[in-house]
């Protein structure tokens, strides 16, 4: 493999990563729009926190951007793909060395299904991620799952490329552990 | 009349027969059979109602318009417009010159009168079979408040529809739905209720948290829906008279959604998801007791009671893909009834008990369809990029559903169960998840 090819592949990978992480670099608790800001009944308002420098391996920015906060699923499936497992291995390593954080695992579906079935499917996906993280040593007590079904697409275009990135789970660092 | 309304102060409208019926002398009464085949819409005339006092004057045309919109909206009737009329109705009790109505090919003539004193409104109407030159049934009078004038028009429409078709009407009914706004990746969804014709919209939630898939109680006094107010899907019960909300059926570590009332309104059946598995549960609303109905390592959701309360139809992917099942209302063995191509979702038992409406997705298209309760005689009524979530009109003749054009916003549509008369229900802005309530008393 030539250097140029390598460089192109790297660029492609970066583009893909950027595409796959449209929330990367957003505010802390990117789920705010999804219900963890004013939506969550925990007192309202938008919580603020430091994302940190993605070059700092203990930062949330590093978790979101370098490791990847989300994994993708095929149609009507909650099986983890090899790529998904890789991402989750990275998430588990980060969570095991940054034990002060709790997480919320969001499960999402694409729009090509009925609303309530998709809530159930999103729950199944979030649970698959949670079970995998447990198998990698992350304590279940730090994790909570929520399904948004098809209610919160990342990309709203009515095309395959959007549906592919909407069928996802997102691991949201939800702040420090209490107690 | 007045005395009766005083005795029943809680009823918004009272319905009283005020005219002695003519003897049923007609040999062949005016009758429109609603059949599967294409029919010629019956030509009707609805002249402006007669004002019986100055207060009634402003409603004469408006009431007639409501009746015309309802009846022609079924696709079963067409209006012979007033410009074509030869005869004029200037007095409610004057004789009808049938020849003048026959001359413009009217088959059914609806006359009405309205009077208003203070906020009290009285509306009367009669239906005539123009062909035989006879009155069809008795005249009827409705009394209520002028604020409810559209309901008066709906009551007249229901009575006319019922006399001519022999079936119950569905016009004086409301639909609870989800009103949508904002960008598609961060939608604001508000619970709302409207008349079946899209009028009189009232918002029932403020839109701070997501709401999905509401259902109205069998008597129309409550709404149950799924809310994300707690940060996670939870069943919420809303009392429509006092607007009190209450979360019900909560279980630690579980998501609850897809709630439906039993026909007696005393219990809910719903989905509970935990540990990657979604099962159906039933809860008695009087004592909060919960009972698990399904126990399968798969998804069971979108339940719907048979109108007699004995069975529940629901969707499950226990076979590998979503299909429709029927089981006893207290759980037990479920029988699969859908076997066609594709995935079947959101089964809803018709109020007549004879059909189950559903969403089907196959080969990249979505359909609303109906089948008999044993799964036979499947018929698809619609086809589009995304149709989902049918809900039955109280008379079981029409379904509403959500349609989302590719890349577009969702809207509410209706179609009759023969697959004819597909129409968009007019709403302000995007709308989804309609759920039809009962005919109002």
Q: Is A76 on the interface with B (CB under 8 A)?
A: yes
Minimal Cα–Cα distance from A115 to chain B, Å? 8
| Euclidean distance between CA atoms B391 and B433, whole angstroms | 9
Q: Do B345 and A112 touch (CB under 8 A)?
A: no
Q: Do B258 and A131 touch (CB under 8 A)?
A: no
User: Between chain A and chain B, how many beta carbons pairs sit less than 8 Å apart?
Assistant: 118
User: Residue B45 burial (CB < 10 Å; 0-12/13-18/19+)?
Assistant: buried
Minimal Cα–Cα distance from A121 to chain B, Å? 8
Nearest CB partner across the interface for B213, out of A115, A146, A154: A115
Q: Which residue has the tokens 């809303």?
A: B238
Decide: helix, strand or coil at residue B299. Answer: strand
**A111 to chain B: closest CA residue:** B386
**A160 to chain B: closest CA residue:** B364
Chain B hits for A115, CB-CB cut-off 8 Å, are 212-213, 388-389, 433
Architecture of the CATH domain B2-165: 3-Layer(aba) Sandwich (3.40)
Q: Is B209 on the interface with A (CB under 8 A)?
A: yes
Which residue range is the domain that position A145 belongs to? 3-176
| Euclidean distance between CA atoms B222 and B217, whole angstroms | 5
Interface of B with A in 9-28 (CB under 8 A): none
Minimal Cα–Cα distance from A52 to chain B, Å? 25
| Euclidean distance between CA atoms A108 and A123, whole angstroms | 8
Q: Estimate the share of chain A in helix, then strand, then coil, as percent rounded to the nearest 5.
A: 45, 15, 40
3-state secondary structure A98-140: CCCEEEEEEEECCCCCCHHHHHHHHHHHHHHHHHHHHHCCCCH
Chain B hits for A36, CB-CB cut-off 8 Å, are 231
Distance of CA B198 to CAs A176, B164, B179, Å? 47, 24, 12
| Euclidean distance between CA atoms B409 and B206, whole angstroms | 20
Q: What is the pTM of this model?
A: 0.87
Distance of CA B89 to CAs A81, B97, B115, B141, B246, Å? 74, 10, 16, 18, 52
Minimal Cα–Cα distance from B14 to chain A, Å? 39
Sign of the torsion angle spanned by Cα atoms B81, B83, B88, B91? positive
Nearest CB partner across the interface for A120, out of B271, B346, B388: B271
Token pair of A133 as six digits:
């993280």
Q: Do B407 and A151 touch (CB under 8 A)?
A: no
Sequence-distant (≥ 6) Cβ neighbours of residue B331 within 8 angstroms: B280, B282, B291, B292, B293, B294
Interface of A with B in 146-175 (CB under 8 A): 146-149, 151-159
pLDDT at A36: 34
DSSP string, B213-239: EEEE-TTSSEEEEEE-TTSS-EEEEEE
Q: What is the CATH number of the domain that holds A140?
A: 3.30.1330.60
Token pair of B62 as six digits:
């408006």
Domain range list for chain B: 2-165, 174-439
Q: Is A115 on the interface with B (CB under 8 A)?
A: yes
| Euclidean distance between CA atoms B400 and B378, whole angstroms | 18
- Structural domain count, chain A: 1
Chain A hits for B278, CB-CB cut-off 8 Å, are 120, 123-124
Task: Give yes or no for a contact between B388 and B413, defined as CB atoms under 8 angstroms apart.
Answer: no
| Per-residue model confidence as pLDDT tens for chain B (441 residues) | 333 333 333 334 444 444 434 444 444 567 776 665 557 899 999 999 999 999 999 999 999 999 999 999 999 999 999 999 999 999 999 999 999 999 999 999 999 999 999 999 999 999 999 999 999 999 999 999 999 999 999 999 999 999 999 999 999 999 999 999 998 888 999 999 999 999 999 999 999 999 999 999 999 999 999 999 999 999 999 999 999 999 998 888 899 999 999 999 999 999 999 999 999 999 999 999 999 999 999 999 999 999 999 999 999 999 999 999 999 999 999 999 999 999 999 999 999 999 999 999 999 999 999 999 999 999 999 999 999 999 999 999 999 999 999 888 999 999 999 999 999 999 999 999 999 999 999
Residue of B231, B369, B405 best to disrupt the A interface, most CBs of A under 10 A:
B231
Q: Do A120 and B276 touch (CB under 8 A)?
A: no
- Give the residues of chain A that fall short of pLDDT 50: 1-44, 178-179
B255 has which bridge partners? B273
Minimal Cα–Cα distance from B199 to chain A, Å? 26
Distance of CA B417 to CAs B337, B379, B381, B439, Å? 19, 9, 7, 18
Task: Give yes or no for a contact between A162 and B407, defined as CB atoms under 8 angstroms apart.
Answer: no
Sequence-distant (≥ 6) Cβ neighbours of residue B402 within 8 angstroms: B386, B387, B388, B389, B410, B411, B412, B413, B431, B432, B433, B434
Q: Do B299 and A149 touch (CB under 8 A)?
A: no
pLDDT at B3: 37
Sign of the torsion angle spanned by Cα atoms B378, B380, B386, B391? negative
Nearest CB partner across the interface for B212, out of A115, A123, A128: A115
Task: Give yes or no for a contact between B279 and B296, defined as CB atoms under 8 angstroms apart.
Answer: yes
Q: Is B230 on the interface with A (CB under 8 A)?
A: yes
Question: E strands within B293-334?
Answer: 300-305, 311-316, 323-328
Query: Which stretch of DSSP H or E encloses residue B164?
Result: helix B149-165
Question: What CATH number does the domain located at B174-439 have?
Answer: 2.120.10.30
Q: Which of A34, A113, A47, A53 is nearest to B209 (CA)?
A: A34
């Amino acid at each position: 493999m030539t250097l140029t090819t390598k460089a192109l592949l790297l660029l492609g990978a970066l583009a893909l990563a950027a595409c796959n992480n449209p929330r990367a670099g957003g505010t802390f608790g990117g789920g705010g729009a999804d219900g963890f800001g004013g939506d969550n009944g925990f007192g309202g308002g938008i919580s603020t926190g430091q994302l940190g420098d993605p070059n700092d391996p203990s930062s949330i920015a590093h978790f979101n951007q370098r490791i990847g906060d989300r994994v993708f699923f095929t149609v009507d499936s909650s099986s983890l793909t090899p790529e998904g497992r890789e991402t989750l291995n990275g998430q588990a390593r980060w969570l095991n060395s940054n034990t002060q954080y709790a997480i919320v695992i969001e499960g999402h579906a694409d729009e090509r299904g009925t609303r309530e079935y998709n809530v159930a499917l999103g729950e199944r996906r979030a649970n698959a991620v949670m079970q995998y993280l447990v198998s990698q040593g992350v304590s279940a007590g730090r994790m909570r799952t929520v399904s948004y079904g098809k209610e919160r697409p990342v990309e709203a275009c009515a095309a395959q490329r959007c549906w592919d990135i909407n069928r996802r789970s997102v691991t949201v660092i939800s702040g420090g552990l209490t107690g | 009349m007045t005395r009766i309304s005083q005795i029943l102060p809680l009823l918004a409208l009272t319905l009283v027969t005020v005219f002695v019926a003519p003897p049923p002398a007609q040999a062949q009464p005016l009758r429109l059979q609603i059949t599967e085949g294409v029919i010629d819409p019956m030509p009707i005339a609805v002249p402006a109602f007669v004002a019986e006092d100055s207060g009634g004057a402003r409603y004469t045309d408006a009431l007639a318009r409501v009746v015309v919109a309802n009846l022609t909206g079924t696709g079963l009737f067409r209006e012979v417009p007033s410009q074509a009329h030869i005869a004029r109705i200037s007095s409610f009790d004057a004789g009808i010159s049938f020849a003048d109505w026959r001359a413009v090919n009217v088959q059914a003539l609806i006359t009405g009168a309205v009077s208003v004193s203070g906020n009290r409104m009285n509306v009367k109407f009669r239906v005539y079979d123009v062909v035989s030159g006879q009155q069809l049934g008795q005249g009827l009078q409705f009394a209520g408040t002028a604020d409810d004038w559209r309901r008066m028009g709906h009551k007249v429409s229901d009575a006319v529809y019922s006399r001519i078709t022999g079936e119950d009407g569905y016009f004086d009914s409301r639909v609870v739905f989800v009103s949508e706004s904002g960008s598609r990746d961060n939608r604001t969804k508000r619970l709302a209720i409207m008349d079946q014709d899209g009028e009189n919209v009232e918002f029932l939630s403020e839109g701070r948290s997501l709401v999905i898939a509401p259902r109205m109680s069998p008597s129309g006094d409550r709404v149950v829906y799924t809310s994300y107010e707690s940060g996670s899907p939870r069943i919420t019960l809303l009392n429509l008279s006092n607007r009190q909300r209450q979360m019900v059926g909560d279980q630690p570590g579980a998501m609850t959604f897809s709630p439906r009332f039993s026909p007696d309104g005393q219990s809910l059946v719903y989905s509970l998801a935990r540990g990657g598995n979604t099962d159906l549960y039933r809860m008695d609303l009087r004592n909060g007791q919960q009972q698990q109905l399904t126990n399968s390592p798969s998804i069971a959701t979108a339940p719907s009671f048979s109108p007699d309360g004995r069975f529940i139809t629901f969707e499950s992917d226990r076979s590998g893909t979503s299909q429709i099942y029927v089981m006893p209302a207290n759980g037990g063995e479920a029988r699969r009834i859908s076997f066609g191509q594709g995935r079947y979702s959101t089964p809803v038992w018709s109020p007549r008990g004879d059909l189950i409406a559903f969403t089907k997705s196959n080969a990249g298209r979505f359909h609303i369809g109906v089948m008999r309760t044993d799964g036979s005689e499947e018929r698809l009524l619609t086809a589009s990029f995304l149709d989902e979530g049918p809900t039955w009109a109280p008379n079981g003749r029409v379904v509403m559903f959500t349609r989302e054009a590719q890349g577009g916003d969702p809207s509410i549509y209706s179609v009759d169960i023969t697959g004819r008369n597909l129409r968009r229900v007019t709403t302000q802005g995007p709308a989804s998840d309609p759920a039809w309530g009962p005919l109002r008393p």
